[in-house]
Amino acid sequence: MAKAKYTHEEMINIMLSDSETKKAYDNLEPEFALLSARLKAGKTQEEVAKLMHTTKSVISRLENGGGKNKHSPSIETLRRYANAIGYKLSIKFVPNKLQIIR
């Protein structure tokens, strides 16, 4: 098997050096917030499900269902998820640089 020319991190950096790719990637950040936080916490979906007294499929749906998809969890569900991974839920409004309403 041939050795990879670039590491995963190097490939990410190369791809993100393109401004259009970086913009699209940044727009997806909210979609991956739950998964990213869980991975940083070092917990599996099974562990989070057990702590929340639910099933792995519920956690999967929660992590994959944000944004434009169909599932929109309640704030209480997000709070329970955050607690299960050792986080505190924080919701903030951030001005859209392109469209500030006066």
User: Which residue segment(s) compose the domain that 38 sits in?
Assistant: 8-84
Cut 0.75: pTM above it: no
Cα(102)–Cα(91) distance, rounded to whole angstroms? 22
Residue with tokens 């639910």: 54
pLDDT digits (tens, 9 = 90+) for 19-65: 999 888 888 887 788 998 999 999 999 999 999 999 999 999 898 87
* Kind and range of the H or E run holding 9: helix 8-16
Residue 90 placed within a domain:
no
Residue 66 placed within a domain:
yes
Residue 99 placed within a domain:
no
* Token representation of residue 76: 């209480």
Residue 12 placed within a domain:
yes
Total count of domains within the chain = 1
Task: Tell me the torsion sign for CA atoms 11, 30, 35, 60.
Answer: negative
Task: Tell me the torsion sign for CA atoms 46, 48, 51, 53.
Answer: negative
Assign residue 66 the CATH number of its domain: 1.10.260
